[in-house]
Amino acid sequence: MSWLLRPLTEQARALRSGEVTSAGLIEEALRRIAHLDGRVGAFLRLTPDTARAAAAAADQRRARDGAAAPDLCGIPVGVKDVLCVEGVETTAGSRILRGFVPPYTATAVRRLTEAGAVLVGHCNCDEFAMGSSTENSAHRVTHNPHGLDRVPGGSSGGSAAAVAAGLVTCSLGTDTGGSIRQPAALCGVVGFKPTYGRVSRYGLIAFASSLDQVGPFTRTVGDCALVYRAIAGHDPRDATSSRRDVEDPLPGLAGGVEGLRLGVPREYVEAGLEEGVRRAFEAACDRLAAQGARLEPVSIPSTRFALAAYYVIAPAEASSNLARMDGLRFGPGAPAAATVREAYDRARHDGFGPEVRRRIMLGTYALSSGYYDAYYRRAQQVRTLVAADLARVFEEVDAILAPTSPTVAFPIGSRVADPLAMYQSDVLTVPFSLAGVPAISVPIDQADGLPVGLQVAAPAFADARCLRVAAALEAVQGVAEPPPLARERVA
């Protein structure tokens, strides 16, 4: 079996013992991408020369530092195309940023590379992270490795698919309303959205600044904890970055769930779940109960308003954030335009795809005079209500269990013409985003041959507890098998 299909912790042990080298891992990653990614479409651009140089440096670092070298040293990683990397074109999946080469690197990416991780390239995503299927990318459609006719989820679908297919060991995505957790569930990998403010947003091309959060995709919960530990922590370059100390999640991963109170919101199991998803979720809950967890029914009444509030707040913030994308300072622009106004109009119309234009118009409308109170202010009041409901529930239980997605991966093209159906993909993830609390998706089973994920959420800054419950579930559930495509022999 390919080393890239094994847990990060196994790869780190092999690197430490000399059984493999980082240079060898990177060559294996590049071979696998060449063999498989024409069908999957996980990557937009690769950085093979810098990856080989970084791998050589990682091998030298391990030879010098021995056991003191970080676990991530020499590990192949991918990053979502909304995270800036100095000297590497970064487009947020959009035509309007074609040719944009950042002069700086996102803090989360920099912290990975400082730990010795080797960047292989940028992963595909929905344009400006707006979507639930990675069909909105201006560059290509990403396919789910478990079924190439199915979506990988979104907006971080390329990052999830890259890990599921064994193209890299781990990857970074971003989660605004579910864009890490939903593709993790659909691709059968682990995906973690930390507490808002726990991971720096510096160098992230913003979608909705009060919601965006960077987090990892990995094959196991333990690997996820390692990556999270490397990227979390205060960053003075991000005004929303928390100064609270980061609790190391690794010591508690083996703590189990005996005696923990785990809430199951009735609104989440009544939210139009596919029958296969419902059965898998109930069976996973039973396994946790058998390990000594106390499952308690809870209610989050504001859940039914959360999706509507999110699709006012997020487009409003997108409208503000994307006002800077005018084609005049970066991107291809409209060089033949006769006036500045014409250049501005043409650059935005030609540069933005239909979903981004839709959300900009929705957000601009919600913020406009005469409608601000009726829409944006009311949506923010609902957000406060959702956060209050969750805070009340977390006084009664230690963590919350819920399905991650109401469905398994749906066919490519089946929801493109129906935005409301597409938006429903986020119905179970959005409430935790609005409240800013940590949540992780763990693969639990399959339905109709496609992966199903369970979501664990915990109170704000209880990220370690969130990972502990997820690890207990994985311990009794087992690590999800990679898809057949990923197990193909690669010469």
- Which residues are catalytic, by number? 80, 155, 179
- Angle of helix 303-321 versus helix 378-394 axis, rounded to 10: 130
Only one residue has tokens 């985003």, namely 433
Answer yes or no: are the C-beta atoms of 172 and 214 closer than 8 Å.
yes
> What single letter denotes the amino acid at residue 453?
G
**What is the C-alpha separation between 292 and 331, in angstroms, rounded?**
56
**What is the C-alpha separation between 74 and 62, in angstroms, rounded?**
8
- Angle of helix 463-477 versus helix 275-290 axis, rounded to 10: 100
Q: Is 338 exposed, middle or buried (0-12, 13-18, 19+ CB in 10 A)?
A: exposed
| Cα first-last separation, the chain | 12
DSSP 7: -
Answer yes or no: are the C-beta atoms of 250 and 206 closer than 8 Å.
no
**What is the C-alpha separation between 246 and 456, in angstroms, rounded?**
19
Only one residue has tokens 């339905």, namely 447
Chain centroid, CA 406 distance in Å: 18
Classify strands 450-457 and 399-403 as parallel, antiparallel or unpaired: antiparallel
**What is the C-alpha separation between 348 and 342, in angstroms, rounded?**
10
For residue 447, the surrounding DSSP H or E stretch is strand 439-447
Answer yes or no: are the C-beta atoms of 203 and 109 closer than 8 Å.
yes
**What is the C-alpha separation between 396 and 175, in angstroms, rounded?**
27
Chain centroid, CA 350 distance in Å: 28
Q: Is 330 exposed, middle or buried (0-12, 13-18, 19+ CB in 10 A)?
A: middle
**What is the C-alpha separation between 436 and 459, in angstroms, rounded?**
9
For residue 122, what are the β-bridge partners? 45, 79
HEC string of 112-124 equals HHHCCCEEEEEEC
Answer yes or no: are the C-beta atoms of 377 and 158 closer than 8 Å.
no
> What single letter denotes the amino acid at residue 56?
A
Report helix, strand or coil for 435: helix
